[in-house]
Amino acid sequence: MIAKLDNIVKRYGNHLALDCVDIQISEGEILGLLGPNGAGKTTLIHGMIGLISVDSGEITIFGKDLKKHALEIKRQIGLVTQEVTIFEELSAWDNLAFFGGIYGIRGDELKKNIEETLEIVGLTEYKNKLPAKFSGGMKRRLNIACALVHKPKFLVMDEPTVGIDAQSRNYILETVRRLNGEGTTVLYTTHYIEEVEAISSRVAILDQGRVIAQGTKKELIQKIQYEERITLQLVESGEEVIEEIQKLSGVKEAYQQGREVRIISEVGAGNIENILTISKKHGGVQNINTEQPTLEDVFLTLTGKQLRDGEVE
């Protein structure tokens, strides 16, 4: 286990920013922490790595109590901050030398780490350039590099793609995947559902300071999947088929829409096979489709709100 948070509570005055949060992160995974603006993601991250104190609860990182082993733990963590925290007046190389130096890395080891890190984020050819001239995406990549130069085994990323173009975003996601493939455990916070879908091995959904669900994408979907939506295209007219389908146990609705028959059925009722059997009796099926819920549906079902680009509707 890389990180284990038990019952974490954090208040800012009267505002309950973290409300009894339990989170586990296993070695080798990418945990996607998904939540809208103000959900408490940054507070959770900063509490987890000891940048702010929490009011109560237990935080164990690398199997050790954070309070007792803070320095030793922090040495092995990389934090990619939400705000870009690079020095614009220092070259990319000097930025990395500065951050590597903070972790006590010197000499040949520092040089080797800087070279490898520049390569990982695709900035080798810009190593002597000042970030003031960089695009937003390049600054974000250098910001990530600063958190990687000491080779942390646990990388914590706080919304690392905010405000950048799609190409840079993809590059960053690809970099996270690659680092994870090489053994780095990652906590990736975002309010973009598609990012979580793209890279996470597990997802935790945070809303108003509470973890409302945690698991693999499949597990989260199973939590909300009480019904399945089936769409049929029949060879012949659908009236008799619909009448028979409506009589099947577990079918909630069956109706014609345009050239399609739409069916809503309870999960586990085994109705796909029954529907195919009925359709075959009446001329056969051209096409059958079942719709799977998405993480967006999970968020909507669990919070009653839609999450789009960080805005809650």
In the complex with ligand ATP, the residue whose CB is nearer, 38 or 215, is 38
What distance in Å separates the CA atoms of residue 233 and residue 70, rounded to the nearest whole number?
Answer: 61
Q: Which two tokens stand for residue 102?
A: 């903070």
Least Å distance, CB 237 to ligand ATP, is 52
In the complex with ligand ATP, the residue whose CB is nearer, 36 or 100, is 36
Least Å distance, CB 52 to ligand ATP, is 8
Least Å distance, CB 49 to ligand ATP, is 13
Least Å distance, CB 203 to ligand ATP, is 15
Least Å distance, CB 300 to ligand ATP, is 18
In the complex with ligand ATP, the residue whose CB is nearer, 25 or 54, is 54
Contacts of 134 (CB under 8 A, 6+ apart): 126, 142
Q: Which two tokens stand for residue 55?
A: 């009011």
In the complex with ligand ATP, the residue whose CB is nearer, 39 or 110, is 39
Least Å distance, CB 33 to ligand ATP, is 9
Q: Which two tokens stand for residue 194?
A: 């598609």
**Rg, C-alpha atoms of the chain:** 25
Measured between its terminal Cα atoms, the distance across the chain in Å is: 36
**Which residue do the tokens 């520092």 mark?**
110
Long-range contacts (CB closer than 8 Å, 24 or more residues apart) made by 237-245: 240/282, 241/278, 241/279, 241/282, 244/278, 245/271, 245/274, 245/275, 245/278
Least Å distance, CB 21 to ligand ATP, is 11
In the complex with ligand ATP, the residue whose CB is nearer, 158 or 228, is 158
Give contact residues for ligand ATP (rule: CB under 6 A).
Answer: 12, 15, 17, 35, 37-43, 82, 191
Strand partners, 172: none
In the complex with ligand ATP, the residue whose CB is nearer, 15 or 67, is 15
Question: Helical H runs in the chain?
Answer: 41-48, 70-74, 92-102, 107-120, 136-148, 166-181, 193-199, 217-224, 239-246, 271-281, 295-303
In the complex with ligand ATP, the residue whose CB is nearer, 15 or 280, is 15
Contacts of 199 (CB under 8 A, 6+ apart): 30, 32, 173, 176, 177, 180, 188
